[in-house]
Amino acid sequence: MFRYDHWANARLLESCRLLTEAQLDARPPGISGTVAELLMHIVGGEATSILRTMGRQHEGELNRQSEWPGLDGLISIANRTGEELIAIAERFDADTQVELSWRGKVYSYPKSFFLVQAMEHGVEHRTEVKVALAQLGFATPDLDAWEYAAARGYGAEPGTPTAG
């Protein structure tokens, strides 16, 4: 699932390369932030989820109010967080409890919850960016799982090599 998530983030970020600064700062109706804010929120949210699997949070990861790192900077951060989420999922063997402090209280969550949150959060806000792109007159990237399967070479006829 996190290989898909990483692919979808990369594809969405690449599709934003044609946007001007004004378009990145646009906030079309019905969207919860500007395009740039949403992109930073997606990537920063992954970093927060990673930290939370370790019982940590809010250590300077990107958020909607962060200074825009530029699209190349954002892609670099997304590559790191995407690879790290894949690694966490690959070595996940026991659903331990993670304790987090928030406003003077400590809360306990199963570690798996933060992986679910990372996945759902990405889908939700990538959809928002796609809606914003469409409202700005841009073609939106197809982030469907079937598109991912084609990109990975899944669904090949038996006996033919796959991209893996």
**Structural domain contains residue 72:** yes
**Structural domain contains residue 42:** yes
Note down the domain range covering 54.
2-149
Structure tokens at 95: 């659903």
pLDDT of residue 86: 97
pLDDT of 159 over the 80 cut:
no
pLDDT of residue 93: 86
**Structural domain contains residue 161:** no
pTM (global) more than 0.95: no
pLDDT of residue 9: 98
pLDDT of 106 over the 90 cut:
yes
**Structural domain contains residue 156:** no
Query: How many domains, in total, are found in the chain?
Result: 1
**Structural domain contains residue 125:** yes
**Structural domain contains residue 140:** yes
Task: Count CA within 13 A, CB hemisphere, residue 22.
Answer: 1
**Structural domain contains residue 158:** no
Residue 35, CA distances (Å) to 47, 54, 72, 112, 162 in order: 19, 30, 15, 29, 35
pLDDT of residue 157: 80
Q: % helix / strand / coil in the chain, to the nearest 5? A: 55, 5, 35
**Structural domain contains residue 133:** yes
Q: CATH number of the domain that 63 lies in?
A: 1.20.120.450
pLDDT of residue 162: 60
